[in-house]
Amino acid sequence: MGAQRRSRAGRLLPRHFADKRDVLFAGAADLEALLAERIALAPRHLAPLDAIAAALAAIGPDSMAPRAALRQRQVVIAASPELTERELITFDSLTAAFATGLRQRGVEYPTASLASQAGVTVFRTASERWVNGDHEHEMAQIVDNVINEFRNATAA
């Protein structure tokens, strides 16, 4: 019965994913769209990076996979140059989504591009800390901490 289940699951995979590796990046497009929308709808008084931070902080635990699964995902990606490249492409796509959300707010290109790149750096750092941390901080608190560190690092 177990072999039959595995075989059936293996037959179902191509219906949902073009490739087994796609499983590792499932949901990325949905996250991009969600964050772009939240950035676009953030309060108008917020600066571009603050609008991105507000969108990132709103990511709830139900939109994240369990930490153990995300840790294992990172091990698999780190072991494969092809998957590492694909992850970088995914982050580039997220940068474009952030810029789209900012442009919908009326932010001009150079500022939208720079804030989007900074926002993805904040997202990557906060996500890494959340996944690898043993603490129980919510993503919002981690994003806030990373934004503050980013501001301190870039202050004149």
Q: Where are the alpha helices (DSSP H) in the chain?
A: 2-16, 28-41, 48-57, 67-78, 81-104, 109-132, 139-154
Cα angle: 12, vertex 14, 15; to 5 degrees: 70
Longest Cα pair distance anywhere in the chain, in angstroms?
Answer: 65
Residue 156 has pLDDT above 80, yes or no: no
**Predicted pLDDT at 145:** 92
Name every residue whose Cβ is closer than 8 Å to that of residue 71 and which is 6 or more positions away in sequence. 131, 132
Superfamily designation of domain 19-154 = Tetracycline Repressor, domain 2 (1.10.357.10)
Delimit the domains of the chain by residue range. 19-154
Residue 117: phi, psi to the nearest 5?
A: -65, -40
Q: What is the pLDDT of residues 14-60, one digit of tens each?
A: 555 556 667 777 778 888 999 999 999 999 999 999 999 999 888 76
